[in-house]
């Protein structure tokens, strides 16, 4: 099947026809800006635009299938802001469907129902296609809303409130041990999960006639057909023009002798537990392990964590080392460079039973619950990808390019089942771009300034390159690490645990990386994201106006340390 090269029209601008629009274009600084827009768009087949710099208006005429959304993206890609000045002025044909080569409405089949899948479904429908979603689980919505991001952040927030009751820095406010009713917490948590699932997923299916949901387990029969195995041995076949695989990932269960058959927890069971364990043993040292370990610790459980290496060993080593100290100060036992050698479980007659973990260092640990958080491999087994020749990595991840294309031209993939980073916002962005590309557009995903956040306290947030990554790529660097004791808001909060670290490229002095360990790091990091994206130098970043007594001011202060001693500056020094 040949790729469709021209972007398909959206539902408002579909089919073979002529239509016009008047656009309001803000941000032009000289007449040559108008000429640049005209040159870019008029080079496209069937597109004619005349731009008035003085009026800030573009008169657009399109003959054919190019979508308004695509053209606006082309203009905004040059740095301007575009708004539809009025509704469509002329329509010569009101056909609303994107079509395949056989002349029928384009059909997109999507395996999965999480954020990447739904982003693709909505984008494909917007561009004129019809969509079939296939989901094997009883409920839709994927990991994030059901068993991942949403319930975990609710639990983490509750644990933070409990922690503040018993441990804060303000004299005159009595500290007290919180009374925890885990069952009530869980009811509230799951009610919010159900509310968001209904609003963001179920209601979309109910109200969008162009998206059909099919329940069952999908696998490829051939390059154009899926077999969906359903209940009671039934099955159905789905033929489509384009396919998106968005099947997510599942917890990795390590082959520890004795583990199989025991009632261990993954993150799913931990988040749904009605009772807090007296002693929770956690195997893992990355984001999920650390977030949940600290949450249970703050809710009153004793927590022992086993790390195969050091904490967050893939991140800048300063982060793991500092967080290790903080968590131990809160009461967590952390055993680094330690693995579980064997697991035994003895069921109690009147209790939930006990786990015993023998470690590679000869320790014998006993706890009433065991949490396995050692990564999430992709859900690609059983899809029969080999049947159609889709390439995967050694760990089963689908290999895709920056347009979400596999090596099979009409099969795309997005989210945790691919070789892209496992973050829900990456999955959603990938799904949106896949929809554009499979309906004839051209949209790439740029992960060079992708922020990553971990919601421990303090939070970890990073973007760009660490010093080690830069040196590996033969980039000479300079960096500064600013402890939070130098940030006025941290002093006002009496909370100075953590730091801000900035990495710049020698020569150009451009910011190329940021690593933050701070109470509001997740809110701060986007400033560094935008600075890197816009290729700002350290001096340009240091010269910006930042609000005083906001945590994000710490980024400015850290940038200033490349040329000044911030300890010698007055408050909110410019």
Check: CB of residue 20 under 8 Å from CB of residue 89.
Answer: yes
Other beta carbons within 10 Å of 214 = 15
The candidate with the shortest Cα–Cα distance to 6, out of 127, 144, 178, 160, is 127
The active-site residue, picked from 425, 438, 558, 572, is 572
pLDDT attached to residue 7 = 36
Instruction: Find the catalytic residue in 70, 80, 210, 264.
Output: 80
Q: Which of 1, 30, 185, 558 is catalytic?
A: 30
Active site residue 120: no
**Contacts of 2 by beta carbon, 8 Å cutoff, 6+ apart:** 101
- Does residue 80 have an active-site annotation? yes
| Bond prior to 458 in cis (omega within 30° of 0) | yes
**Tokens (6 digits) for 99:** 């079509």
Give me the catalytic one of 53, 149, 425, 450.
Answer: 149
Q: What is the pTM of this model?
A: 0.82
The pLDDT score that the predictor gives to residue 87 is 33
Active-site pick, 28, 185, 438, 558: 28
Each of the 574 residues of the chain gets a pLDDT tens digit; together they read 333 233 333 334 444 456 778 898 988 887 888 888 999 899 888 899 999 877 788 888 888 778 888 899 889 888 888 987 543 333 334 434 677 777 789 999 999 999 999 999 999 999 999 999 999 999 999 999 999 999 999 999 999 999 999 999 999 999 999 999 999 999 999 999 999 999 999 999 999 999 999 999 999 999 999 999 998 889 999 999 999 999 999 999 999 999 999 999 999 999 999 999 999 999 999 999 999 999 999 999 999 999 999 999 999 999 999 999 999 999 999 999 999 999 999 987 666 689 999 999 999 999 999 999 999 999 999 999 999 999 999 999 999 999 999 999 999 999 999 999 999 999 999 999 999 999 999 999 999 999 999 999 999 999 999 999 999 999 999 999 999 999 999 999 999 999 999 999 999 999 999 999 999 999 999 999 999 999 999 999 999 999 999 999 999 999 999 998 877 776 665 6
Report the sign of the C-alpha dihedral through residues 133, 139, 140, 142, in that order: negative
Q: Which of the following is catalytic: 1, 18, 33, 425?
A: 33
Identified catalytic residue from 144, 417, 524, 551: 144
3-state secondary structure at position 320: helix
pLDDT for 119 equals 98
Catalytic residue among 70, 450, 548, 571: 571
Instruction: Respond yes or no: is residue 144 known to be catalytic.
Output: yes
**Does the active-site annotation cover 33?**
yes
Write down all domains in the chain, each with its CATH number in brackets. Answer: 18-84 (3.30.70.100), 96-250+376-447 (3.50.50.60), 267-372 (3.50.50.60), 452-568 (3.30.390.30)
CA dist list (Å): 395 to 1, 316, 391, 398, 399:
29, 25, 12, 9, 11
Cα dist. 564→122, 432, 550 in Å? Answer: 50, 44, 20
Q: What is the predicted pLDDT for the residue at 351?
A: 64
Q: What is the dihedral of CA 518, 523, 525, 528, to 10 degrees?
A: -120
Using an 8 Å Cβ cutoff, are 168 and 260 in contact? no
Which residue in 214, 216, 217, 237 sits closest to 227, CA to CA?
237
What is the DSSP pairing of strand 107-111 with strand 242-245?
A: parallel
CA distances from 537 to 10, 115, 293, 469, 544 (A): 40, 35, 38, 19, 11
Helix-helix angle 149-166:287-299, to 10 degrees:
40
Active site residue 417: no
Evaluate whether 227 touches 237 at the Cβ level (below 8 Å): yes
Count Cβ atoms below 10 Å from residue 209 Cβ, excluding itself: 8
Two tokens at 452? 């990553």
Angle between helices 115-126 and 424-438 (to 10 degrees): 30
Cα–Cα distance, 163 to 295 (Å, whole number): 9
Q: How many residues does the chain have?
A: 574
């Amino acid at each position: 099947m040949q790729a469709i090269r021209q972007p398909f029209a959206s539902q408002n601008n579909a089919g073979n026809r002529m239509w016009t629009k008047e656009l309001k274009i803000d941000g032009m600084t000289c007449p040559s800006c108008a000429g640049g827009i005209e040159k870019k768009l008029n080079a496209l087949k069937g597109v004619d635009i005349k731009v008035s710099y003085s009026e800030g208006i573009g008169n657009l005429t399109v003959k054919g299938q190019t979508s308004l959304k695509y053209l606006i993206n082309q203009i905004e890609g040059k740095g301007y802001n575009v708004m539809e000045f009025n509704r469509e002025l002329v329509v010569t044909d009101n056909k609303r469907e994107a079509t395949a080569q056989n002349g029928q409405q384009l059909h997109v089949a999507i395996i999965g129902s999480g954020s990447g899948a739904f982003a693709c479904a909505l984008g494909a429908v917007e561009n004129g296609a019809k969509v079939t979603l296939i989901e094997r689980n009883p409920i839709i919505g994927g990991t994030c809303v059901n068993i991942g991001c949403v319930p975990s952040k609710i639990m983490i927030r509750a644990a933070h409130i409990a922690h503040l009751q018993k441990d804060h820095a303000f004299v005159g406010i009595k500290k007290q041990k919180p009374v925890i009713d885990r069952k009530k917490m869980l009811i509230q948590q799951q009610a919010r999960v159900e509310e968001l699932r209904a609003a963001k997923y179920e209601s979309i299916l109910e109200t969008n006639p162009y998206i059909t949901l099919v329940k069952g387990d999908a696998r490829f029969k051939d390059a154009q057909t899926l077999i969906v195995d359903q209940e009671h041995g039934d099955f159905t076949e789905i033929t489509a023009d384009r396919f998106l695989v968005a099947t997510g990932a599942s917890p990795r269960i390590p082959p520890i002798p004795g583990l199989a058959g025991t009632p261990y927890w993954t993150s799913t069971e931990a988040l749904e537990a009605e009772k807090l364990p007296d002693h929770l043993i956690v195997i893992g040292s990355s984001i999920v392990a650390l977030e949940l370990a600290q949450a249970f610790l703050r809710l009153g459980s004793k927590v022992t964590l086993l790390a195969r290496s050091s904490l967050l060993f893939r991140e800048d080593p300063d982060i793991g080392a500092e967080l290790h100290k903080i968590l131990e100060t809160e009461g967590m036992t952390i055993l680094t460079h330690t693995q579980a050698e064997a697991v035994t479980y003895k069921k109690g007659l009147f209790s939930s039973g006990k786990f015993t973990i023998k470690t590679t260092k000869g320790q014998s640990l006993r706890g009433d619950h065991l949490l396995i958080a050692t990564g999430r491999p992709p859900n690609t087994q059983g899809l029969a990808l080999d049947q159609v020749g889709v390439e995967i990595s050694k760990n089963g991840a689908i290999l895709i390019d920056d347009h979400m294309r596999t090596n099979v031209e009409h099969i795309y993939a997005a989210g945790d089942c691919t070789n892209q980073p496992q973050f829900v916002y990456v999955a959603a962005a990938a799904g949106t771009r896949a929809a554009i590309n499979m309906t004839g557009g051209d949209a790439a995903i740029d992960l060079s300034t992708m922020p990553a956040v971990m919601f421990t306290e303090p939070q970890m947030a990073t973007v760009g390159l660490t010093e080690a990554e830069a040196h590996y790529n033969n980039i000479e660097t300079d960096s500064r690490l600013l402890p939070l004791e130098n940030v006025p808001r941290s002093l006002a909060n009496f909370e100075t645990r953590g730091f801000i670290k900035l990495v710049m490229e020698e020569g150009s002095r451009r910011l190329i990386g940021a690593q933050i360990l701070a109470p509001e790091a997740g809110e701060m990091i986007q400033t560094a994201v935008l600075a890197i994206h816009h290729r700002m130098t350290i001096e340009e970043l240091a010269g910006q106006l930042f609000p005083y007594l906001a945590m994000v001011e710490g980024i400015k202060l850290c940038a200033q340390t490349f040329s000044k001693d911030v300890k010698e500056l007055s408050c909110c020094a410019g």
